Structure 1
């Protein structure tokens, strides 16, 4: 029993290590090669549970992750390899109109596209100048100027123009990103929660 427990912990640690080496992406952000390797890693870990041998399993995991690293390296250094292995964004909206041929090619219905628009907070397709389905399946879009939200900078410029007596606060404040940059907490947090 302890042998099974120990091997399971070892496999979990090795699997976690290999997946850590493969990169930090959620499932929604993964490309096809990454999803394939993730599924293969799960399958290989499953075969160890059925008794194929721990060292063969670790070697197979290392081979899969090595393959993924080679694929990632190739796609970083070659646009042709990137197009072939990861795919490219496919235009699905142009000048506020859906590109029906590309939706068909992606096997995506208009309802699916509208669902993605609603999730992005877009209420009408007419507001989109250009829209794509990215290689990871997510919607990319550029809004027409009239549909873009007002930014803080836009608001500050308008306020400064019409109300010059209101000075914008330009002082830097520390935030949760400062901690990541400096590596130090700037407020009292118990040691066990840091």
Structure 2
């Protein structure tokens, strides 16, 4: 991490080396939010791709509760990766995927998830995070703190991973509406409407 910071300061052109430094730092310490934030900043500048950022954020959130800004970035990753499924669908057809059900399932997925190991790891993560991040007890704890921004960003992720009908998502939407948190409620509503329903798509390919 220190090497990455020094390179950013003295030689910003070595973007590949800088990103590798932060990736290695995250592998050693997945709880390091600083490394995630630096990779996110590089991504916003066009120096780091969305797929790699998705995986690094997920690794981080496997180990920590996560800041609202990091959850929001995960939401953005899902939306970017699923924003153009037509090309992915055509790639899938060209790879001779057999069976109408498989083709239909692949057509709803980003190409990031075409590889079996990635699909399986994300399917497990979706199910694990039901209790890790999106349980009733977690929801009660978060509403007690009144952090509407955290609740909205997490519920938006839950909507993309588990669907807009997932209990945590619906409870968060109700809470935000009652709190008259218009910005946060609107953010969640937009993501519910555009939910990528990741787990549902992954399970069709089991």
TM-score grouping bracket, smaller chain normalisation: under 0.3
**TM-score w.r.t. structure 1 length?**
0.21
* Structure in which a larger fraction of residues adopt helix: 2
* Bigger CA radius of gyration: 1
TM-score, normalisation: structure 2: 0.20
Greater strand share, 1 or 2? 1
